[in-house]
Amino acid sequence: MTKREYSSKEIQALIAQRGLKVTQQRLVILQFMLTRETHPSAEEIHRELVNQYPSLSLGTVYKTLDSLTVSGLLHKVFCVDGIKRYDVNLQPHAHLYCNTTHQIIDFEDSELQKLVWGYLQEKKIQNFQIEGVQLQIQGTIQNPEKAVIIESGVTL
């Protein structure tokens, strides 16, 4: 499974569909998120984009991530390091968190998703309305220098 590409037109549509104004900043930030398999923080996003878009301010990155999240295009990601990170919300997936590099990497595995969802649907926790499940697999990347395709299609 490879990440599909999104055209500028498609990204514009995603934003417009949610009733948000299609600004340069939103386009650029959402595009950036769509091309990433890891989940950069606001500061990382700003650092990487500010060269190409020098007027982009860090405050705008925070505000943009927030409005894209409220509108449902992004999800916040749980993370032990206490930094807020975001995730393009296309299909459900788990995350690999590297204790060494502090990267978060998508782990798409529909079987695992079904397993957990199925179990929880069955179980019906009393007094609690389930809205989502976040699964994070903590561990260590073995060879950070080598890019290897792992089973689920994630590139490490």
Partner DNA sequence: ATCGATGCAAAGACTTTGCAGCCAG
Partner DNA sequence: CTGGCTGCAAAGTCTTTGCATCGAT
From a second copy, DNA, none, interface partner of 70 (C-beta below 5 to 8 A by class): none
Return the DSSP state at 4: P
Asked whether position 49 contacts a second copy by CB under 8 A, the answer is no
Plot region of 72 (φ>0 → left; ψ -120 to 50 → alpha; else → beta):
left
Q: What is the DSSP string of 30-82?
A: HHHHHH-SB--BHHHHHHHHTTTSTT--HHHHHHHHHHHHHTTSEEEE--TTS
Contact 152, 1 (CB under 8 A): yes
In the region spanning residues 95 to 134, those forming contacts with a second copy, defined by CB under 8 A, are 96, 98-99, 107, 109, 111-112, 115-116, 119-120, 123, 125-134
Residue 5 beta carbon to a second copy: minimum distance, rounded to whole angstroms: 25
| Tokens found for residue 19 | 């009733």
Residue 72 beta carbon to a second copy: minimum distance, rounded to whole angstroms: 14
Choose one: 1-9, 20-28, 51-59, 135-143; the region binding a second copy (CB under 8 A): 135-143
For residues 135 and 77, what is the distance between their CA atoms, to the nearest angstrom?
A: 10
For residues 33 and 55, what is the distance between their CA atoms, to the nearest angstrom?
A: 19
Q: How many CB atoms lie within 10 A of CB 152?
A: 16
Residue 66 beta carbon to a second copy: minimum distance, rounded to whole angstroms: 12
Asked whether position 145 contacts a second copy by CB under 8 A, the answer is no
| Tokens found for residue 38 | 């890891």
Residue 33 beta carbon to a second copy: minimum distance, rounded to whole angstroms: 17
From a second copy, DNA, none, interface partner of 109 (C-beta below 5 to 8 A by class): a second copy
Q: Which positions lie near a second copy, rule CB under 8 A? A: 76-80, 82-84, 96, 98-99, 107, 109, 111-112, 115-116, 119-120, 123, 125-143, 146, 148, 150-152, 156
